[in-house]
Structure 1
Amino acid sequence: MRLRAALALLLVVAATLAGGVLALATFRQDKELPVATVRLSVQPGEHGALGIYVPLVDWGVRFGAVRLPVQLRIDVRRIDRAAAERIARNRTVDVQQVRAAATDAIRDYLRALVVVVLVASLLAGGVTAFAVRARRGPRVRWLLTTAAGTALIGTAAVGLLLPPRGALDDPTYFAHGADIPQALQALETVNRSVGTLSEELDAQLVGLARLVLAPGERGTLPSGGPRLTLASDVHNNVLVLPTLRRIAAGGPLFIAGDLTDRGTPLEASVTRDVAAIGEPTVFVTGNHDSATLERSLARAGAIVLTRWGRLLPDGSYGAQVVDVAGLRVAGYDDPFTRREPGRERGARPEPRTTQELQDAFARWFAPLQARVDVVMVHEPALLEPVLRGLAERPPDHPIAFLVGHTHEQELRTQRNVVVLNGGTAGGGGTGNLAESQPIGVAQLRYALRPSFQPLAADLVTVDPGNGDATARHERLDLSSTASGSR
């Protein structure tokens, strides 16, 4: 009897909560703002965030300002053409009016949502209470009391935890499909401010009008400037090569090692098509690669860099520093690269970066420091002594270190130095089966006049299942950056 009573109470609680969640997922409202119509809705099961999405340009921005595990979503449904033309022509807008209207719209939606969640929870819990009542079970009034209490608690949680709170900083940009780099480039033309929710809405909606009608007029970065794409740790996942091609978009592609799992001749033949993706493709080996792979890529037209210089198709070595899209580039092959032909299949010890290996890299880098803009190496741990030295005595020109191996995206900066890791471009393995990881790449935007100057870094992830992309965009000012990381 006690078990039956407990089950009845649990069913009522579960039904009440399910009613509230269903209301969260389905209730939406369209609101008219001075420059656009927006739709407000909630997506349960997401990391707590405020999301603003603009279908017209297929990109959006998220902020971790919501404490409930849902995303409060704001979708731009329609742009007021007359308002857009007026803004673009006069370059003025009643910002206070837009902010007030956006804030009021969100406030009204949240109030209505709380009422809808409460009513839906009570209905679902009440119907279930009558459905599970029994002579030997809890009385109906206790079941209804349980439903009411659960509904009130759930509604209170929504009312307290759903409204965005705190500063809207550290935005994450996203796009549907692998076009997030183009979205980020477009974003540079939008006059953004993320101090408050209303300011962000103003920037997204008002700035969008100028983006549509007068793109590039207010860009803070040079329009159409050069950029490089960084990928690593593909691990034979050739399914991502079309994605890399779209992201590289005719620019240079740097692959910082672990293109394969062992570097066997079969793997080399399967992955060698990567040489034709970038213009050009630049490669250094990782601990999962081999000399066999190096030679295959060099013969396929890739720029294969080693500590001894560029590997040429005939097996000889060329210059240590090569020109790639106006950049002076050097690369350091991984110390654990398999260099014995035919021995790629043997057991592979876990690589361990020793002081001796770090010292060897430092000795290699020292005479090249004044001659390079970009250094590519698979294992970021090899850099640590060099980075400490550059923090104490910064170089007189910017240097970008492109790394991989960790399968985690990272951007570190110090004065005139940037370290960029795109994560795992292979999502952890062929078909994303070995590890549940998103495809990760990075892009570095730079200027070349009067000399190499990194301007911005985009850390991009692409879902291998549906192609949806997200990105973190960071502006770089290495001339004024103190030693540290971010």
Structure 2
Amino acid sequence: MSGPTTRAPGRWRRPARVAGRWAVRLAVAAAGALLGILLLGRVEAPIGPFDAGLALTPTGGGATVEVPPLGTLEVDAYDGPLGLDVQLRRVDETRIQALVSDPARLDGVVDQVSADLQDAVVRLAWTTAAAGVGGAAVASLLLYRRWREPLVAAGVSVVLLAGTAGLGAATWRPEALSQPTYTGLLVNATSLIGSAEDIVARFSAYRESLEELVTNVGTLYSALSALPAPGGPTDTVALLHVSDVHLNPAGFDLVAQVADQFDVDAVLDTGDITDWGSEPENRLIGSIGALGVPYVYVRGNHDSATTAALVASQPNATVLDDSATEVAGLTVIGARDPRFTPDKDATGDGETLEQTGEDLAEVAEEQAETPAIAMVHDPEQAGPLDGVVPLVLAGHTHEREVETLDGGTLLMVQGSTGGAGLRGLQGEYPEPLTCTVLYLDPDTGALVAYDDITLGGLGETEATIVRTVVPERTADDVPADVPADVPADGTQDGTGGGTPSSPTD
């Protein structure tokens, strides 16, 4: 008698074939959904003043904000196969100007950005879901060429996408938003501008005083008109020295008002007009072209070559880089700061500050007549120019200072026309906004007087002008024992928006 027939292998063959078919369906649906998401799962949306692109990409969760060319900001906010990628493509100039000119809009900018981002993410989620389901269905149809299969693939992709969303929600970590990881130039962000929370908390108070401060320049000008003419009966050349605007809109407003009300012949900018030298920052530089007077500029250590090129493209601007120009009949020379602080790997040939001063001294000696003014960014560049030119203008330190060097050259260091930008909001006594109107003899180029203009910092509404009349001196009678920044006889001051206080710089 024969034994029983074994049917075990056949018993498992059919379930294995079914499992294999579903595994293939799952793989096809997943691949098609991923391809659809990569091709179509993206949206363009305005986020506050920015135009941004948003996409979900297979990066293993979290969110990445790309800020070309500065770098990226990464937040490990959730887990999952798809990560949120936000790229800030450009700054809309119209929306930026609307924010700057309307304090009411600036009050709600955080809420507006949050609302815009939420709307964009919701729209991205629906777009991504449609792209994923559609991609899975199309891939299944192309492979199987049966109408039932796309429906199955669509259902599988819905389950996969729902699982991805559920995993993201279950692993959501809101505390990660306060601990981002920076790459690129943004690595320096916290060290350069300090605590963002502190800046936001103090900016509203700062903004409230800026409009009144800048308006006070008009009152100051009226007071100043009662002072004696800076050059006596002789006409003078009036030049406005500004420095370290650091992208403060109030600094640009101050430059425009002083240039107009003091009827200056030109503006001399000793650098750091921006903070990072980036494309978004550079959009405000276009206001230089509206000043209506020549604008002479040297690069600071926060200004990029792109920034300098944009300044040079303005119809009234000249960028000095070991070169000379003529302003109201006077020769002015200038050299850039060789450093670029936001990217220490982009400092060029490693030229030192002293070397740039030596090179500029050679430029001065090549001129047919002795230049009236040399422009540098860092006062350390001024040493080799001592005795070569009568006046050197600088900035960088955010501390106004006037000093006669050993060889008789007068070094005038400007404070910060932009109040040190965002960083000026950090300290207990934020930086004031400063600039100086220089009056020079049109024939000799000698400095005959200057008006130091100071607008108070955060929470202050004081604005002052101090006029210093420079006594006529020769190289032989410069007092060696008297600091050159002590006002000469005849110093007077005009005030507006409050009474003068002790110097803050």
TM-score, with length taken from structure 1: 0.47
TM-score, with length taken from structure 2: 0.45
Structure of greater Rg: 2
